[in-house]
Amino acid sequence: MAGRFITIEGIEGVGKSTNVDFIARYFRERGETVVVTREPGGTELAEAIRRLILDTPREGLSDTGELLLMFAARAEHLHSLIRPALARGDTVICDRFTDATFAYQGSGRGMDWGRIETLQTLVQGDLRPDLTVLLDADTAVSAQRVAGRGEAKDRFEQERAEFFARVRAGYLRLAAENPQRITVVDAAQPLVDVQARLKEKLDVRFK
Ligand code: TMP
């Protein structure tokens, strides 16, 4: 596959959207064709699955159902958008991908990582991101930013601090196990500093 596949991860409120825009600009300025997308979602069908997941209260959807819906959305996203874009040679920047499933469904909900690996192989084969940026911050920083948005909370945003502490630990475990692919950026710093670090890392990686 010719194109680059870059994903951004982190718990809620760490500034993923702003930094997705920053990374997209970085590659557009280099003259690359950039496709920005997100998970769960990214295609009409996958966005419908996203609404189904996020709008269903905790008791209305089992942990197994949640896990399978994440991968169902991912299968459609890969089929209709990500793989075709990579085949054209585009740079695909995705706000969350399978690391989120290990962190949220695996570490957050307590589902077995081995089963998630099996689904990962079924849905993706050997496709993995070329680079994953993990924006890392303490759960207190993230909770403060989410509260500041003043919007209605979805299925995950309603979870307690302990849940996000487990999710964060899951992400840090993934980063420790995949040091070549996952780069960790301290998201508790002011945004200018986060983006300066991000630029340095992209320059080193894609010079
Ligand atoms: P977002 O609001 O950051 O776009 O993500 C939607 C929510 O979905 C977020 O709380 C994380 C969650 N999620 C999972 O639990 N597992 C996954 O595999 C993905 C992609 C997202």
| Contacts by residues 149-153 (CB-CB < 8 Å, ≥ 24 positions apart) | 149/13
Q: Looking at residue 152, what is its pLDDT?
A: 83
CA of 40 to the centre of ligand 1 (A): 6
Residue 174: alpha-carbon gap to chain centroid? 12
What predicted TM-score, i.e. pTM, was given to this entire model? 0.96
CA-108 nearest atom, ligand 1: 15
Q: Given a cut of 70, is residue 77 above it in pLDDT?
A: yes
The mean pLDDT of 18-36, rounded to a whole number, is 97
Question: CA-to-CA distance for 107 and 112, rounded, in angstroms?
Answer: 8
Taking CA atoms only, the protein residue closest to ligand 1 atom 18 is 101
Ligand 1: residues within 6 Å at CB?
A: 12, 38-40, 70, 95-96, 100-101, 104-105, 156
What confidence tier does 1 reach under pLDDT thresholds 50, 70, 90?
low
| DSSP state letter for 58 | G
Question: What are the φ and ψ backbone dihedral angles of 10, each rounded to 5 degrees?
Answer: 150, 165
Distance CA 53, CA 56 (A): 6
pLDDT in tens, 8-23: 999 998 999 999 999 9
Nearest residue (by CA) to ligand 1, atom 15, is 104
Nearest to 19 by CA among 200, 203, 204, 195: 195
Residue nearest to atom 16 of ligand 1 (CA): 101
pLDDT in tens, 141-169: 888 888 888 788 889 988 889 999 999 99
Chain segment 81-127, per-residue pLDDT in tens: 999 999 999 999 999 999 999 999 999 999 999 999 999 999 999 99
